Structures are given as structure tokens and as C-alpha cells.
Amino acid sequence: MRIEVYDSTLRDGAQTEGISYSLEDKLLIARRLDALGVDYIEGGWPNPTNPKDLAFFQEVGKLGLRAKVTAFGSTRRTTNAAEEDETLATLLKAGTESIALFGKSWTLHATEILRATLAGNVELIQDSVAHLVAHGREVVYDAEHFFDGYKADAGYAIETLLAAEHGGARILVLCDTNGGTLTSEIGEIIEAVKERIGIPFGIHAHNDSGVGVANSLLAVELGAVQVQGTFNGYGERCGNANLCSILPNLELKMGYQTVGREKLADLMGFSRFLSEIANVHHDHRQPFIGESAFAHKGGAHVDGVMKVAHSFEHIEPESVGNERRFLVSDQSGGATIVNKLRRFLPGVEKKDPLVSQVLERVKRLEHEGYQFEAAEGSFELMARRVQGTYEDLFTLINFRTINRKTGVTAEDAEAIVKVDVGGVEYHTVASGDGPVNALDQALRKGLEQKFPSLIQVHLEDYKVRVLTSGDGTAAKVRVLIESSDGRDVWGTVGVSENVIEASWIALADSLHYKLLKDALEAAGEGPTATG
């Protein structure tokens, strides 16, 4: 059985705190939603006070999308006839084949929010739906606050649904607008609704109680033919039911067809794209499509996955566009280390003494505050040093940084670095926007004379984390640096009680790693741990 996928990322998702889509953003997202295979794209509310959404509906029609772009709006005002209502007129002007119309199911909202009589609210629902249908539109009726309304007055809530049905709506969508309904309640109410309505129904759940996805899945099991939600769970307050979880559960576990398994493999890619467009961090702990969803850290877990993948994985990561990762930590076992080492030492086996030596070193360093999960470059350097196959091409003699402040806001820094390169001392000075930048510039200035390829290396990201807080200024810090040479990206890490020294360790490892990479390429050896 196929379930209609109704996406509200451009409307409900835009109501997320901290998210604001431009017109160009909305058009880009619409294209990607269509490519992903959703059935409905709710584009927004085209009312006169929202010029961005009005412009969206003018432009989106030019894209030739397969999905039904849907305008969203409310029933007519209590004081207007349907033929004279500006809201309904604007919905029609949007020019969409489909219109999502919401009306009040809860007596509280009918009387206290709309200031209508209960009978009047029923009438305006039927009138509004009928008016849009008479103009050739498909109406998706969103029964706003339906579950709260049903719990307050079941008979009246059902009456509002029947009004939409009699008006000609194609489908009745039961909305848990406040997101407070528990899954057991959802099931009981849907079973009662099914006995009274004569047309298909859908589900629109919010996540304020943390059960938006569960409520949506249960609704489908009970007969819902359409599931509404947003990707990444964006939405008002705690968000909407997350389609990134709903779709793979329906498709891979429950036997329903949604966008199809081929397109489901682009789910993580789309999720990350959406995060970038929305300018928010991608949630690495999201089920299915988070970067940590198939990241294994415990030694027993890693060992199990390497023997039988599904022993510790509920689906194949590739089915949703994700990938399996093994994390190196003080919880690692031999299997984790073997997996990591095989990226640059393909023939290594668990019984190899190197495995236990590296594992011992990892546990000691993590006790000191190091973390190698995002520092593959430092891990490879450490392993090769333990193995005895890499010798540092430069060593620190000393460094000093000086901060200067001139005027009210102007500030710069100077770094002095002495390094030994093959018995030759290099003494360089450089300035920068801060002590770390100055240190980086001075180090490069010295080394680039001997190793010109280091000119290619540039800093992509720099993160500092305080590891302890009880010792005041003596607290340890961990610095994570992400570097690139235009082809590869790698992470390195440094730990110290001094943030500048921690930065030095990470910076030095970054350049050591580039030199290692160059040497391996010159020798024609295999890939290193770049990612």
C-alpha cells in the first residue's frame, strides 16, 4: 500500500525558532523535495501580508514539479460569505491544484478564538471547502486541534469533520496541533473516527510530547493514507513529526511504499542540504540520518558489527544514505583499532602486537583528555609513530606569542617560533588576527622554505573545549583543528592546560600529516585517513 507524503517544511518548518527561508531558499528546497519524491509540497500561506509566499507561488509554477504544490490557509471569516472572503480569494489566486484548508475542531477555539457560535463554525467549514471545490481545487482539510477537540467534545469534533466531508474535501487530516496527545489516545480516537467518516483520513502530528513519529506511524497502521510532517522535524515549538524517521520506518520496516527505496537512499543527503539552507547545525543524533546513527564506540559493539553487521544495527546505513563509522576512544576494543588501522595498514590483524600497543596508547591519551573521533589525522600519526614508520620531519625548540592592543578595539598578535628541521634551526616571526593565527603563520613561514607543499594547507575549522572546570585557570582544554590542502580534509587534536600549547600540538600534527600524506603519495602507497 502506498502512503501519500505531505511535506510542510516550507510552511510549518519555517515557523521554527531561528529559521527564516528566503524566496530563493524555498525554491531550492522545493526542487529537492520534488526530486526526493514527496507527493505534496506545502508552499506557505499566500495572504496579502506575506509577500514572500505570494512570490513563491508565482515562481514555483515555472519549475514544472511533479509534486502537488499546495497553498495553505484558513476557513472564511465569520463575518464574510465565502464568495466575498479575501483569504479564500487569495488561496485561489495562488493557482495551485491543491489547497490545504484548516478549520477549528475544538469548541474552545470555535468560541474563544474565532468568536463564533458552534453552529456557525460548522457552517463556515462546509462553506469554505465547498467554495474551493466549486472552483476546481482539491481540498486537503486540516482539522486543527482535532485530538484536543475530541477529548473536550467528541460529538462536536466529529461534526466539524463531517462538515468538511459534506463540503467536498478529498481527505480529512487529523491534527495534533499542540502535540500533547499520547499514542494510546491517538489509537482510541482514530478507531472512533473511522466509524463516522466516509472519506480517507491523514495524520498531522507535532512533537511536544516526543511521540510525533510514533503517533504518525500508528495512524498509518490504523488506516491513514496520508502522513504530514517536516524533514529534520522542523516546526513550531518542539517541531513537527520528523519525516526523516517516518519514511524509513514505513518503507523499510512496515511494508508501505512512500518515496521508494531508491530515493530513500538520498534521505541523509537531503537532510544535510536542508540544514545548510536553514543555517542550523545538522543534528548528529537524529535516528537514521544523523552522523552518529551508525557510529559504534564500545569495543563489544564494534566487534559484533564487524562479524555480523545487523547484530548492532537495525537497518543497513546505506539504505538511507548514511554510513557506518567506528569511533576510537578509551572504550575501544581491538576490533575498533583494527578497523581504523586497516584504512592505512590494510593487512593488519587483531593479533598483531601493533593493535594492543595502539589501543594502550589511545586509552592513555584519552585519559589525558584527547579524543580521536574527529581527529583521524592525529590518530594515524600516533599509530605510525608507535609502529616506527613515521619520524617527525620537524621538532619544536620553543615558541612565544605576544598580544597587542592598540586603541579601543584594534587588536593583533605576534608569534615567534623556533623549529629544528633535519638539524637546521629555523627562527621565524609572524603576526596574525590572534595568537593561534599568528602561531600558524610563523610555523608555516619557517617550514615552507623546506616543505613548499605546506603552502597548500589552510585551516577549515577551529574548536576549543574546556575539559575541566574545578581548577580555574589550570583547567585542561582540547583543541580540534580541521585542515585541508584543497583535495583532502583531516582533523587533528591537541590537549594542554594552555590553549596556545594545545593549539600548537594540533597545528603541528596538521602539518606533520600533510608531510606524511605527501611522502606516501610520492612512494605510491595507499590512501591515508583523510575524510
Q: What is the per-residue pLDDT across 421-480, written as a single tens digit (0 to 9) for each?
A: 999 999 999 998 888 889 999 998 889 889 999 999 988 888 888 886 554 445 689 898
Name the DSSP letter for residue 254. Answer: S
Residues 105 and 75 sit within 8 Å (Cβ to Cβ): no
CA nearest 189: which of 178, 201, 199, 198?
A: 201
The pLDDT of residue 44: 96
Say whether 15 sits in a helix, a strand or coil: helix
What's residue 362's pLDDT?
87
Provide the pLDDT for residue 329. 63
Phi/psi of residue 517, each to 5°? -60, -45
Q: What is the pLDDT of residue 406?
A: 65
Cell numbers 574527529 label which residue? 374
Residue numbers of the chain with a pLDDT score lower than 70: 328-333, 335, 405-411, 468-475, 526-531
Cα–Cα dist 475/468, whole Å: 5
pTM of the model: 0.72
Question: Mind listing the pLDDT tens digit for each residue in 396-408?
Answer: 999 999 887 665 5
3-state secondary structure 219-248: HHHCCCCEEEEEHHHCCCCCCECEHHHHHH
Cell numbers describing residue 494:
591537541
Instruction: State the pLDDT at residue 528.
Output: 56
Which residue shows C-alpha cell 515557523?
Answer: 15
Please state which of the four CATH numbers 1.10.3720.10, 3.40.120.10, 2.60.120.280, 3.20.20.70 is assigned to the domain occupying 4-259: 3.20.20.70
Give yes or no for a contact between 379 and 344, defined as CB atoms under 8 angstroms apart: no
